[in-house]
Structure 1
Amino acid sequence: MKKTLLVLAVLGTYSVFASAQSNVTIYGVLDAGITRESGTAGSVLKLATGVQSGNRIGFKGSEDLGGGLKANFQLENGFNGDTGTIRQGGALFGRQAYVGLSGNFGAVNAGRQYNPVFITLDSIDPFGTGLTGSAGNLMASGANGDVRTNNSFTYNTPEMGGLVFNGMYGLGEVAGDASRSRYYALSVGYANGPLGIALAYDNANDATGTNTTRLMILGGTYNFGAATMHLAYETEKDNAGMNYRDWLVGLSAPVGAGSVMASYIRKSDRSGASLGTGAKQFALGYSYPLSKRTNLYTSYGRINNDAGGKWVVSDASSGGTAVTSGDSSTAITFGMRHRF
């Protein structure tokens, strides 16, 4: 009873605070559906959660400090809708947690933030790195496997004739060796009418400081009116011999009241290993809006692995069903997403 009263008191405090401060927003996503995944051990039917977009609840706001200067913050929690458990390793605000300043100079933030490579891939992928066609199934969306960077500082320029530049630096915070777990990244984007182009690079050292992962992605979109084309090229390398070249070709287009998405991704292993660990992914999806905030979706994805590949079809939240080397992976999903 005491715990219940405490929860109600906290929620009441947030409600009063949000009402009293018009520049504070509470928002979130609830996404659930049915997914059938197939791997080496067979097929499994799941109550899927966070398929198109990861489930979340967040708080963001700003304060006008005068002279065009603002203080900004964002706190975002990720959770599983089927079990209620916290995602991102159990971190309370594992999706985002930062504070910063913005003005005519741009914006500077400090905390846990999305890295530039993920932001670039997400903007180009016709599936928005969600559903069973997510480009993140084969293409790297962050060095060392994380789309977010802890202990990071970012600087984003204001828009300048369609150009925007972004930079990120992540502190390793290891005593005696600043190179361990150190991270830095840069990106540039250009948007003008139907055309959007982006280039991003990141460089991340592992916890020992001896292995460095380097990612580079170049891509863009072009809206022809009847449809939008999506293209991306990515390289992935490290000191241990990893060497991939990834290509994405995609299409998105309005069909009826909704929109269709399709993509093909080829991941090529250039490491010289006797068994290539690359793969091909084919995906098709459809989203139908019930309102401005609620939509139904369906998608199908298939990965054909090379002889040494073990890549699996997943989505915005699922890790997929494991396969042995060379086996294929498939998934089909139906669900609903609500944003508030």
Structure 2
Amino acid sequence: MNTRPRLHHLNTTAAATVLLLSHGLAAAQATPATSSVTLFGLLDVNMSRYSPGSHAGGGVQNVINDGVVNGLNGSRWGIRVAEDLGGGLKASVLLESGLNADTGTLGQGGRAFGRQAFIALSAANAGELRLGRQYILSDSVVGQGNPFANALVNNPTTAVTNMGKALPMWFNAPRADNVVQYQTPNWAGFTAAGQIAPGEGTADRFHGLRAVYSSGPFYTGLTYEWNKSRTTGENTNKSLSFTANYNFGFMKLEGGLQRNTDLATGSVNGAASGVTNLLVTGDSSFTAHEIDGWTIGAEVPASTALVFGLNFTRMKYEAASGGANADLGKLALTARYGLSKNTFLYAGGSIATGELKAYISQKQVLQAGLRMAF
């Protein structure tokens, strides 16, 4: 197994660094630096009621969740540091710690700063370089295709429990370790970005590309992400995501498509890092080699404070050999009410459709919660 860093990856990082440094170094030396430090936090807790399908086993469950499950946001606290180096060159740091507000424990497996921990260097005309643990590129794009951005029971990326095992829907493991990211400047609404996370011998190498165009009420984004197996050297977990939305004022129309192929468990990195099971159990059982999905929905404001979210998501699971397949859908209706700019009440419900609805523990979900940022 070759764990040595690839030369072209180092060259890419070096080139981005040189570009940013050469842009503002001279001015930065002549201009005193100014900096700011911001402490922030957010708590989100909800109550959820899960009703299983007829073949799933077990009974109705009533649980209290941190907002990372069915909430508007996962609970967290963090520190932002920004330093203006002069000449348009800026440095920044983000340390963000996830926590489970329902139990008071640390999130993301007990990491000190499990949500994000990175340092960045940016210039308006040269783009931004980030180094450290951070969100993968598809997370932001996928969130633009559903109400409230990957939140509440509208979220198409929430896994379901299929006969006792976690079965993914849309791929969206939000973060990766050891990420090198470069994003271009904004060119008349268009931006592009690339990521690589080497794996360092304990995880598959992860790669990601993103292109976004956003102008006025219109947004569209595309990402392509994949792993390179640390054991076989093959490219696996290829994930293509496309989303778009348009804000008409009286409503915001949203939708997207995702195609995941050459699936494998155990990547421990990137879009498939949270995928531990690909066994699909419905009228028959098979291992999914490909998972395709689409979603369409809308956010509809009833007032300045009250916004409704409605969407439908459909997934298709297919075996490698062809023939065996199964489908699963989810129809969701939610509402968010702003008590202030920082505090929200929310509630909603979802119902599953398709062949697998009888085999999952979340055939019907009802939820209500409260979120406050500070």
Fold match (TM-score > 0.5): yes
Is 1:29 matched up with 2:42? yes
Secondary structure at 2:144's aligned position in 1?
Answer: helix
- Partner Cα distance (1:253, 1:24) in 2: 36
Is 1:214 matched up with 2:235? no
- Partner Cα distance (2:337, 2:314) in 1: 28
- Partner Cα distance (2:105, 2:230) in 1: 28
Normalised to the residue count of structure 1, the TM-score between the two structures is 0.82
Q: CA deviation at 1:79?
A: 0.7
Is 1:170 matched up with 2:197? yes
- Partner Cα distance (2:230, 2:110) in 1: 21
- Partner Cα distance (2:360, 2:179) in 1: 38
Secondary structure at 2:149's aligned position in 1?
Answer: coil
Aligned length in residues: 298
Secondary structure at 2:340's aligned position in 1?
Answer: coil
Gaps of 5+ in 1: 1-20, 311-323
What is aligned with 1:151? Answer: 178
Q: CA deviation at 1:206?
A: 4.3
Secondary structure at 2:352's aligned position in 1?
Answer: strand
What is aligned with 2:23? Answer: none
- Partner Cα distance (2:60, 2:154) in 1: 18
Q: Could you tell me the percent identity over the aligned residues?
A: 31
Is contact 2:145–2:295 with CA below 8 Å preserved after alignment?
Answer: no
Alignment counterpart, residue 293 of structure 1, candidates 333, 339, 342: 342
Q: CA deviation at 1:190?
A: 0.6
What is aligned with 1:160? Answer: 187
What is aligned with 2:223? Answer: 200
What is aligned with 1:128? Answer: 149
- Partner Cα distance (2:247, 2:341) in 1: 22
- Partner Cα distance (2:98, 2:360) in 1: 33
Gaps of 5+ in 2: 1-33, 159-167, 265-287
Is contact 2:35–2:82 with CA below 8 Å preserved after alignment?
Answer: no
Secondary structure at 1:126's aligned position in 2?
Answer: coil
Summarize deviations over 1:169-213 as a string: whole Å, max 9, x none: 1111129xxxx6101100111111111000111012345345611
- Partner Cα distance (1:166, 1:215) in 2: 16
- What is the root-mean-square deviation in Å for CA atoms of aligned residues? 2.1
What is aligned with 1:140? Answer: 170
Is 1:114 matched up with 2:135? yes
Alignment counterpart, residue 81 of structure 1, candidates 101, 120, 142: 101
Summarize deviations over 1:278-334 as a string: whole Å, max 9, x none: 31010000000101110110011122352xx48xxxxxxxxxxxxx73676221111
- Partner Cα distance (1:83, 1:328) in 2: 22
- Partner Cα distance (1:100, 1:84) in 2: 30
Is contact 1:304–1:327 with CA below 8 Å preserved after alignment?
Answer: no
Is contact 1:185–1:201 with CA below 8 Å preserved after alignment?
Answer: yes
Is contact 1:26–1:58 with CA below 8 Å preserved after alignment?
Answer: yes
What is aligned with 1:235? Answer: 259
Normalised to the residue count of structure 2, the TM-score between the two structures is 0.75
Summarize deviations over 1:214-248 as a string: whole Å, max 9, x none: 00011100111211110101101115661122111
What is aligned with 2:307? Answer: 259
- Partner Cα distance (1:258, 1:85) in 2: 32
